[in-house]
Chains A and B, each alone.
Chain A
Amino acid sequence: MGAVKIEHISKSFGDQSALKDINLDIAAGTLFGLIGPDGAGKSTLFKILTSLLIPDDGKATVAGLDTVADYKQIRRIIGYMPGKFSLYQDLTVEENLNFFATIFGTTIEENYHLIKDIYVQIEPFRKRRAGKLSGGMKQKLALCCALIHEPEVLFLDEPTTGVDAVSRAEFWDMLQRLKEHGITIIVSTPYMDEASRCEEIALIQNGQILQVDTPDNIRESYEQPLYAVKATSFYQLIKDLRAAPFTKRVEPFGEYLHLTTSGYFPEEAIYNLLKEKHHEQIEVKRIDATIEDVFLELAG
């Protein structure tokens, strides 16, 4: 079925190396996340897997079909949602869906069961032009269009970028339900907090895969002690912590700093040190690593 196998894929654009020796093995029916910042090579990898680009080196198969040799068959069994909202803004919701159904040789009715959950949410606006929809609605329509021909593998390139938090959460719920239809779903996202919604993730940076595992395993792979630290003078706090003898790394995380130490220290030790430096309203607590901590550790 829809397994995806990537072996030693490399791709350069001129002098710019976009992907370096990528290897991935994604089992059929997995909800797989490709996590990394902008420019990491996520979209390039997607374009290779969807047969839009030819790799310089290596090979990839989607559902056992080679992305270069069997590109015609691949195009029948995949669904693709490109990075930005790519539907026809001047066509209505219904016309967009009909058009994509037709070019894949199917009809809305035939595969309505697949998109029903999602489509009912945008159905009240079916006569509205796609360009006039909100970000969340556009995203749902794009997903419907990518699903309309019942693909075996679904590629979603940053589907949640530019979408509000509620719609993002809803979107991930929809993906969970789609998985039950046995579709392999590969999602890319720059949002680390979305990683936990995937069954398996790959961290990607500068065209290289840093780590591949389940989100839990990846979090647990962070071996050093980690603390969340807060005080009134944020800037001074960073400076002081970076200068402290036990510090391995300090990263800002919202209103907290994430402090990694080279060995275990009781919270009080850190607290006292900061007290000596005249910090006020100090807060120090031991925490578990997030995906982002791991990412920064690996990428740093």
Chain B
Amino acid sequence: MIKIFLAFVRKELFHILRDPRTLAILFGMPVALVLIFGYTVTNEFKDASVAIFNEANDDLSYQLVDHLTASGHLKLVTSVRTTAELEQAFQSNQVKMGIVIPAGFEDDFFRQRKADVQLIADATEPNYATTLTSYARQMIATFQQNQNGTSGVQPYQVSTEIRMFYNPQLEGAYNFVPGTVALILMLICAMMTSLTIAKEKETGTMDLLLVSPLPPIVIILGKVTPYAILSFIDAIIVLFLGYYLFDVPVRGSLVLLLALVLLYLLVALALGVLISTKAPTQQTAMMTSMFALLMPTMLLSGFLFPIASMPSLLQYISKIIPAKYFIQIEQAIMLKAAGWDAVAFPALILFIMLIVLLTAAWRNFQVVYK
């Protein structure tokens, strides 16, 4: 049986390797997606336009402004004298961030040993806004360090207050790598498997396989295994590109992450098999995968749009989308270095989904093929 299974996998690999379109989807797509999302949702910036609202006008405040603009990353476009002017600068898209230095900045710093700076960012582009503010915050921290000396004790402090204009609910900047992994796995596992099984049905070869002594389970396993392996490789490629090109780290356990990638991959495969038991042709399989899987994965999983700001109906729908839980898991492990206990709940939900989908796929398969 092993020999037959391997012959099957070999045949499937031939199908994949000989079809340029399949190859392009398998390997071109992940790379393209990471690069596109990576560079459009980039955290690199140069010459970001900044407005200064200096109410203090004392020596120390001028030093701070010099310090902030010295790096070249922040470009001082305008100095404003009222909050209304600042607001206007935002609305005309003249600046992306305003730095507000309140009156008595120097006094506060040296007498009360604590001065405030406010950073106001235009958060219509949330990722850009977070990067900008975090950069400015860092610069303010080094400014504080310079004033105190590097001795370790920091008696004089500048505290920064950050305000996001226009879109207070921010999604993290590192969203796109986890999201792309979720999307790619769904695309390849679910769509490609449903397509390849539907293709056998459409061309009539499924009948030939079914009249052979092969148990249906071997047929299905033989068909999905190559895709499972290839999409697992894809997940690694995306993580790798994310790490080296965009500095998206994996702070938690890589083993745990990959184990859960595998779980999500199985969920996607089960979905693909389920679709293929229903879809008689490749076209139906394609359409179903597109509308039932890819669109929700992209739009409702929190990948592109924050779930919290969706209407409540869509929020409910998002609860049944596997990618939502998988992205949660990825973010927790990759960015927050969370351990097993922190991701146990979303992992459990994925596991339950897997069981439900497998049962449904199996029952459908029985109805169709026996």
- Seen from chain A, the residues whose Cβ lies within 8 Å of a Cβ on chain B are 47, 50-52, 54, 71-72, 75-76, 78, 80, 82-91, 95, 98-100, 102-105, 129, 145
A98 neighbours in B (Cβ, 8 Å) = 7
Instruction: Tell whether A50 pairs with B211 under 8 Å between CB atoms, given A83-B204, A84-B204.
Output: yes
Identity of the chain A residue whose Cβ is nearest the Cβ of B214 in the assembled complex: A103
B205 neighbours in A (Cβ, 8 Å) = 86-88
B15 neighbours in A (Cβ, 8 Å) = 88, 90-91
In the assembled complex, the CB of B1 is this many whole angstroms from the nearest CB of chain A, namely: 9
Instruction: Tell whether A90 pairs with B211 under 8 Å between CB atoms, given A102-B7, A103-B7, A103-B8.
Output: no
Q: How far, in whole Å, are A90 and B370 apart by their CA atoms in the complex?
A: 28
**Please, what's the 1-or-0 string for B59-97, where 1 marks a CB less than 8 Å from any CB in chain A?**
000000000000000000000000000000000000000
Query: Does chain A have a CB within 8 A of B112?
Result: no
In the assembled complex, the CB of B198 is this many whole angstroms from the nearest CB of chain A, namely: 14
Q: How far, in whole Å, are A98 and B19 apart by their CA atoms in the complex?
A: 20
Indicate which residue in A82, A103, A129 contacts B4 across the interface (CB closer than 8 Å).
A103
Q: How far, in whole Å, are A224 and B165 apart by their CA atoms in the complex?
A: 96
A54 neighbours in B (Cβ, 8 Å) = 370
B212 neighbours in A (Cβ, 8 Å) = 75, 100, 103-104
* Residue contact B11 to A75, C-beta cutoff 8 Å: no
Instruction: Tell whether A89 pairs with B203 under 8 Å between CB atoms, given A80-B208, A95-B14.
Output: yes
* Residue contact A80 to B207, C-beta cutoff 8 Å: yes
Query: Does chain A have a CB within 8 A of B213?
Result: yes
Q: Which of A84, A95, A102 has the most CB of B within 10 A?
A: A102
Q: How far, in whole Å, are A72 and B209 apart by their CA atoms in the complex?
A: 13
B214 neighbours in A (Cβ, 8 Å) = 103
Identity of the chain A residue whose Cβ is nearest the Cβ of B207 in the assembled complex: A82
**Please, what's the 1-or-0 string for B208-236, where 1 marks a CB less than 8 Å from any CB in chain A?**
11111110000000000000000000000
Q: How far, in whole Å, are A166 and B211 apart by their CA atoms in the complex?
A: 30
Query: Does chain A have a CB within 8 A of B3?
Result: yes
Closest 7 CB pairs of A and B: A86-B204, A102-B7, A82-B204, A80-B211, A90-B18, A103-B212, A86-B205
Indicate which residue in B8, B11, B207 contacts A86 across the interface (CB closer than 8 Å).
B207
Identity of the chain B residue whose Cβ is nearest the Cβ of A50 in the assembled complex: B211
Q: How far, in whole Å, are A129 and B15 apart by their CA atoms in the complex?
A: 11
Identity of the chain B residue whose Cβ is nearest the Cβ of A103 in the assembled complex: B212
**Please, what's the 1-or-0 string for B22-47, where 1 marks a CB less than 8 Å from any CB in chain A?**
00000000000000000000000000
In the assembled complex, the CB of B167 is this many whole angstroms from the nearest CB of chain A, namely: 49
Q: How far, in whole Å, are A51 and B214 apart by their CA atoms in the complex?
A: 13
A85 neighbours in B (Cβ, 8 Å) = 204
Q: How far, in whole Å, are A120 and B18 apart by their CA atoms in the complex?
A: 26
B208 neighbours in A (Cβ, 8 Å) = 80, 82, 86-87, 100, 145
In the assembled complex, the CB of B290 is this many whole angstroms from the nearest CB of chain A, namely: 24
* Residue contact B204 to A78, C-beta cutoff 8 Å: no
A71 neighbours in B (Cβ, 8 Å) = 370
* Residue contact B4 to A105, C-beta cutoff 8 Å: yes
Contact sample, A vs B, 30 pairs, CB 8 Å cutoff: A52-B211, A54-B370, A71-B370, A72-B213, A75-B211, A75-B212, A75-B213, A80-B207, A80-B211, A84-B204, A85-B204, A86-B203, A86-B205, A86-B208, A88-B11, A88-B14, A89-B203, A90-B14, A90-B15, A90-B18, A91-B11, A91-B15, A98-B7, A102-B4, A103-B7, A103-B8, A103-B209, A103-B214, A104-B213, A145-B208
* Residue contact B207 to A99, C-beta cutoff 8 Å: no
In the assembled complex, the CB of A282 is this many whole angstroms from the nearest CB of chain B, namely: 49
B19 neighbours in A (Cβ, 8 Å) = 90
In the assembled complex, the CB of A119 is this many whole angstroms from the nearest CB of chain B, namely: 18
* Residue contact A51 to B209, C-beta cutoff 8 Å: no
Q: How far, in whole Å, are A103 and B208 apart by their CA atoms in the complex?
A: 10
Identity of the chain A residue whose Cβ is nearest the Cβ of B22 in the assembled complex: A90
A89 neighbours in B (Cβ, 8 Å) = 203
Q: How far, in whole Å, are A80 and B214 apart by their CA atoms in the complex?
A: 14
Q: How far, in whole Å, are A86 and B14 apart by their CA atoms in the complex?
A: 17
B210 neighbours in A (Cβ, 8 Å) = 52, 75
In the assembled complex, the CB of A174 is this many whole angstroms from the nearest CB of chain B, namely: 19
In the assembled complex, the CB of B12 is this many whole angstroms from the nearest CB of chain A, namely: 10
